[in-house]
Amino acid sequence: METVIIATIKVRGLPVPIKIASQTEPTISQIYKMIADLAQKNDIPGDIKFKKILQENEQKMYIYEIGNQKCVVLIEKLEKVIEFEN
């Protein structure tokens, strides 16, 4: 089966979540770098602090704070089960 990993980053105060697709799950350091880059590009001040991780089945949710803004990173694993022919 083919697997795709979707990383969705939501930051309170930003209008649209950011979605990144990959074939491999990002590491903690890659997630931190994505958040740091996002904070810098959007002028969000403050330190990035990891708060907690929640895990259920094929999903993980990392919760961070950037200064006083809440940041949630959702990692979803999607697998192709059936492929249809045209």
Average pLDDT over residues 21-37: 93
Average pLDDT over residues 1-20: 90
Q: Return the pLDDT at 58.
A: 82
Select from 7, 14, 52 the least CA-distant residue to 30: 7
How far apart CA 55 and CA 29 sit, in angstroms, is 18
The pTM of the full predicted model, rounded to 2 decimals, is: 0.83
Beta strands in 26-86 (DSSP E): 48-56, 59-66, 69-79
Residue 54: pLDDT band by 50, 70, 90 thresholds?
A: very high
Q: Return the pLDDT at 1.
A: 55
CA 31 from chain center: how many Å? 7
